[in-house]
Amino acid sequence: MNVIRPEDCPDSLQLTDAIDIAYGSVLGEVIRRLQSGISVLIECEKDLGIPVLVSLRARLKALQPPITTRVIAGRPAAGSDGGPPVSMTTAMYRELMTFVLNPGDNLPVLQHLDLLTSGIGGGVTDLGRDVVNLLYQDPSRVWLAFADPSLPLPEMVANAFPHRVSLLGVPREQIRRLVTRSECRKLGAVVPVAQLYKYVSGVNAARLRRLLSAIQGPDLPVSPEAAYRQLRQATLTGALSIPTVDLDRDIGGYDDLKRKIRKEILDILSRRDRVTDDGLTKDLESLLPRGLIFWGPPGTGKTLFAKALASALGAAIQVVSGPELKSKWVGESEENLRKVFLRARQSAPAVIVFDEIDSFAVRRGTHTGSGVEHSMVNMLLTEMDGFRKEELVFVVATTNFVESLDPALLRPGRFEFQLHVPYPDAAARRAILEVHSRTMRLDLTPEGLEHAVRRTRLEVPGAAAGTRYSGDHLNALCRLIARHRLAAGRDDATTVTDVDAALAEGRSVLVLDSAELRVVAGHECGHAVAGLVLAGTQLPERVALGEDLAGSLGYTQVTAGRRVRSVPELLDTVAVLLGGREAEMLLEGQFSLGSGHDLWLATQTARELVEVYGMGGPASGVCHYWKQDGRAERYPDLAPSTREALDAEVKSLLEHQRIRVAKLLAAHKPLVLGMRDQLVLDRAIDARGLAQLVRLLATGLEEVAVRLESLPITTE
C-alpha cells in the first residue's frame, strides 16, 4: 500500500542510516566503480556531502582489503610565514600538492572540487588549471570528488570523471523508511506517500531528516494541513514564493480555459494524492503534461494563469525572462538556465514560468542573434527531458507568437499542452470587471457594469491597430475609476457616468460649436439609419459624439457580424459607409471633409468585390486580380484596358450604392432628423433609445425596434 502508518515507522533514525536508506544502491555502485579503477564525481548539496562521505569511507574501510582515503577539504591553516590564515582554496591546493608528493595507498577525495576549480562565468581559476593537469596527467590514479550542483563546474573538470552521480532529492520508494514514528504521527494516522513526497521530492536525505524532526503540532491531528504548511515553507529556496492567486476568485471569465486546467492537471493530481496503489499512482503521473504554453495577445493574463496554477498546486513559482538569463560570457546563459531548474527541483512542487519565451526559444535556423539562443533551447530541452515523473515541477511558457517557437519545444513530452488566452469576450469582461469592482471597492451598479462591458468591446483608442481591451486594460480602467472616487472622497456606487468619465480620461477633447455638432450628428445618424433599414448589415446599437475614440468626432457602434458574409451583405455595407456622406447632403445641402475615411473603406470594399471575389460585371469576369503576398495591390502586368474596365466597375458599384442609400435616407428623413436632434442633446443614444425613436418617427420598421429592444447588451 502506498501509505505510511506510525506503527510501521522506526522509533528513531540516525543520519548515517538515512543516507544508506536513501542512496544505498547508488553508493554501492560508486564503491564498485572505485574498486574498478574508475574516478567518480558525486554532485550533491554541501549539507549532504559530509554525511555521504562518512558513509562511503565506512564502506571503503569495510572492504577486503580496505581502501583508505585522504580527504582534501581545505582546512584552515596559517600562512607559511606564520601570518594570517590563507584562503580555503589555497589551503585545498596545498593539501592536494602535499598528497601528490606523498600519495601512498590513499584514495584522494576532493571534497569541494567546485570551489577549487570554478571561476567567474563558469571558467577555470588559475589554481583550477593546475588541478586539471593533476587530474589528467596520471590516467591510472583514481579520484573521488564532490561538487555542489548549484555551482558551475567547468566541463573540462567534470570530464575527468568517467562516472558521475547526482544525489538530488530522495527516491519516492524509500520515503516511507525515512520517517520516524513520532514524525509520522504529526502528519496523521495514515500518510499517503504521494502527499508527503509532493513537498519533499527535491530535498536531500540530510535536509529531509532535519525538516521532519522540526515539525511542530499535535499527534494524530484531525487535519495535517498545518504540518504540510511547515514543510512547504521550509522547502522554499532563494526568492521563490507561493502565490495566492485563486483560479476562480481572482481571475474573471475564461471558463473553458479554467475547465481545461482542472481536467488536465488539478483533477489528476487530486486523484493521485488520494490513491494508495503504487501502480495507479505512476499511471496518473504519466498522464500529467509537465510543459504548458499560454499564448495570446499581450495583457490577457497569461502569467496570472500560471500563478493561479501554482497556487492551486501549493507550488513555489519562479518567473524568469529571456533577457534575465542571457549573458555575454560563454556558457553562462546555459548555466543560468540550469540553475533555474535546479532551484525549482529543490523547492518542488514548483512552477517555472518563462515569460515571453520567444525571446530566446525561437525556431532554430531563423534567428540572427549571437547563437546563444540555440544553446539555451538545447539546455531547456535537456532539462525538461531529465524530469523524474514523480517530481512535481511544471514548466510554463508565455508567448504572443506561438508559431515562432522551435518545433522541438512543442512535441509531446515537452510543451504539449497549449492554451490560448484570447482577448476577453463579453462574459469574460463582465467577470473581470466584477472582480476589480470587488477588490477595489468600486461597487459598480448593474447599469454601470453593463455599460463598461459594452464600451470596451471595440479596439483600444490610441493603441496599435487590432488591439482590443485586455484584462490589463480593464484593470487600468478600474484603477482610474478608483482614483477618481478617492480624489472626490466618494463611497457611493459607480455609475455609467463614472465609467464614461474614466474612458474619456487622457483623450483629446474636441470642442465643437453648435453647427459643427449638428453636422457630425447628422453624419453619424446617416450611418445608423442606413444600418437600421438595410437587412444585410450589422444592427447599430450605439451612436455617440466624440466620446469613445481619441481624435474622433463621433462614431456608430454595431453588433458583431457573421464570419461568412454574402455579396448582398457586402453591398449593404458599402451603402452604410456612404450613408454618412449622403445624410450631410440631405440635411445640410453640402458635404464636409469628415467622410474621407468612410469613402476609403467603401472604395476598398467595392474594389475587393470586383477584383478579389469576382463579383464585377462582364468586363472583369470571374477572375482574381490581386497579389497573394498580403499587399492590397493589383498584378503589375495587367493590360491598360483591363485596368480601365476594373476601375469603371468599381466606380459603377459605388455610384449605384450611393444613389440607393440617398433614396433610403430621403424616405426616412423624419427619423434622420429626429435622431440627429436627440444625439445633439444627449451626445449618445443606445439601443433602447434607438428603438424608441424608430417607433416614434418611422413606419414599417416595427421588427427593427423589437430587435433593438431585445438586443443583448453585451453582444460580441
Q: Grid coordinates standing for 666?
A: 430621403
How far from 327 is each of 357, 371, 405, CA to CA, in Å? 16, 12, 21
- The separation between CA 444 and the C-alpha centre of its own chain, rounded to angstroms, equals 29
DSSP string, 482-499: HHHHHHHT--S-B-HHHH
Out of 183, 332, 373, 524, the active site residue is 524
End-to-end CA distance of the chain: 54
Longest dimension (CA), the chain: 114
Q: What is the helix (H) or strand (E) element at residue 543, kind and residue range?
A: strand 540-545
Q: What is the helix (H) or strand (E) element at residue 663, kind and residue range?
A: helix 640-667
Alpha-carbon span 175 to 21, nearest angstrom: 9
Q: What is the helix (H) or strand (E) element at residue 180, kind and residue range?
A: none
Alpha-carbon span 437 to 502, nearest angstrom: 14
The residue among 552, 558, 553 whose CA lies nearest residue 530 is 558
Residue with cell 456606487: 493
Note if 524 is an active site residue: yes
CA dihedral over 188, 193, 150, 141, signed as positive or negative: positive
Alpha-carbon span 210 to 204, nearest angstrom: 10
Alpha-carbon span 494 to 597, nearest angstrom: 36
Alpha-carbon span 550 to 504, nearest angstrom: 8
* Strand bridging mode 554-558 / 540-545: antiparallel
Catalytic residues: 524
